[in-house]
């Protein structure tokens, strides 16, 4: 199986030893504590689950800026985005060397992790602007990722962490949330060697389904891991439980047996386009995937990125050998009326626009909200039913 990024074995930061976990939970109750941002909580979950291997904790300012500018820490570790614990105020932890981090997304703000403080640094306006522009390609506050990143605060608390729970992800999504450790183990149990990962924050329509099947066939892969984001999204995106139900129904009915795993991970969407695509590749390598599908406008939002910027970044900016995982580059997919099947549009040069069934996401949402099923060429009827029920519930 493919090696994790940056180490020979995966080193998740979750404390699995029961006695040690209990002792740390007791210790945490006596430590100075701070409620972190949703983004910092998600970073802790990802480190705890092994997805952000080989990080041992939150980055300091120099490492964060280095990752933003050239995708490297000061020690030379390749990492495509800063992983920070940014807070608005530090009065409650003044002078502390060890603190408890509390979860902003769970009632009662339970302890999420314990952090050893390496440093507390105030991020300058210049550093913040550099990180924002380099990671997101824009400083426009209308960009949801930019807005979220810049709203966390300016004090960066760096240092190693010990993760004590997986926030709401394990309780809210017990059948779907999986750590990188668990996915690696399941891949081994399946006996899979060549494994394709498919990233999604949306329900999967026919084009997504066929794209996974195309990758399986083209790569002669053993299986595909459909890996859905379970964290915070922008307003208007479909909630994770609805996505989960629709994806499971599609896989159950339309994929060959023993070729697909449906899993999810606890992270908030960055909408960072190319940089987020590289991050997606890194943590899919950590979970054991040998290939990642990167399609048109991968992890994008609005018109901030070119259609295939998330593919070209791997050729133009990711140093050779920085990652072992390989990228399966996909074009826009659509249903061909001529061929009666879904194709990548680049593979159908003799087609005109009229030869494809093309529907915008807005148009599909309008149809579903009115109880109108999209064409079968666009969405499986069983999937459309789940989505239609959800959209109609919004109006009731």
Q: Which residues are catalytic?
A: 201-202
Q: Encoding tokens for residue 214?
A: 């195309």
Query: What is d(CA 375, CA 384) in angstroms, rounded to the nearest whole number?
Result: 9
Cα dihedral 298, 299, 300, 306 in deg (nearest 10): -30
Distance set, CA 97 to CA 7, 30, 118 (Å)? 28, 13, 8
Distance separating alpha carbons of residues 189 and 168, to the nearest angstrom: 27
Residue linked to tokens 């060549």: 194
In whole angstroms, give the CA distance from residue 78 to residue 83: 12
Cα-to-chain-centroid distance, residue 222 = 23
DSSP code at position 93:
G
Residue 124: φ, ψ to 5°:
-75, 165
Measured CA to CA, the distance from residue 3 to residue 396 in angstroms comes to 50
Neighbours of 274 (CB within 10 A): 27
Six-digit token pair at 69? 């500018």
Between CA 286 and CA 268 the distance in angstroms is 18
Indicate the burial class of 360 (C-beta count within 10 angstroms; 0-12, 13-18, 19 or more). exposed
C-alpha 300/C-alpha 276 separation (Å) is 9
Q: SS3 of 116, please? A: strand
């Amino acid at each position: 199986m493919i090696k994790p990024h940056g180490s020979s074995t995966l080193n998740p930061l979750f404390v699995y030893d029961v006695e040690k976990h209990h002792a740390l939970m007791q210790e945490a109750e006596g430590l100075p504590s701070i409620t972190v941002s949703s983004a910092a909580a998600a970073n802790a979950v990802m480190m705890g689950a092994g997805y952000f291997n080989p990080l041992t904790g939150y980055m300091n300012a120099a490492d964060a800026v280095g990752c933003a500018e050239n995708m490297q820490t000061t020690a030379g570790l390749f990492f495509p985005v800063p992983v920070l614990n940014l807070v608005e105020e530090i009065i409650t932890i003044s002078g502390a060397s060890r603190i408890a981090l509390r979860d902003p997304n769970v009632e009662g703000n339970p302890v999420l992790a314990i952090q050893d403080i390496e440093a507390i640094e105030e991020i300058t306006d210049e550093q913040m602007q550099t990180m924002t522009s380099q990671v997101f390609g824009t400083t426009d506050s209308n960009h949801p990722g930019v807005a979220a990143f810049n709203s966390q605060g300016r004090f960066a608390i760096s240092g190693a962490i010990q993760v004590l729970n997986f926030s709401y992800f394990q309780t809210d999504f017990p059948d779907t949330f999986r750590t990188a450790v668990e996915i690696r183990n399941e891949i081994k149990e399946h006996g899979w060697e060549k494994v394709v990962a498919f990233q999604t924050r949306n329900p999967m329509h026919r084009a997504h389904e066929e794209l996974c099947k195309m990758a399986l066939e083209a790569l002669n892969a053993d299986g595909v891991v459909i890996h859905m984001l379970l964290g915070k999204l922008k307003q208007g995106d479909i909630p994770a439980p609805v996505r989960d139900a629709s994806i499971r129904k599609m896989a159950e009915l339309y994929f060959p047996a023993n070729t697909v795993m449906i899993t999810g991970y606890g992270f908030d969407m960055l909408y960072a386009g190319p940089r987020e695509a590289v991050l997606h590749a890194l943590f899919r390598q950590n979970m054991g995937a040998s290939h990642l599908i990167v399609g048109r406008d991968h992890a994008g939002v609005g018109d901030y990125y070119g259609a295939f910027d998330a593919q070209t970044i791997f050729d133009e900016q990711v140093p050779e050998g920085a990652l072992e995982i390989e990228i399966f580059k996909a074009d826009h997919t659509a249903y061909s009326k001529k061929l009666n099947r879904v194709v990548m549009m680049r593979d159908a040069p003799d087609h005109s626009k009229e030869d494809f069934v093309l529907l915008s996401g807005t148009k599909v949402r309008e149809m579903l909200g009115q109880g109108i099923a999209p064409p079968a060429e666009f969405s499986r009827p069983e999937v459309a039913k789940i989505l239609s029920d959800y959209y109609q519930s919004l109006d009731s």
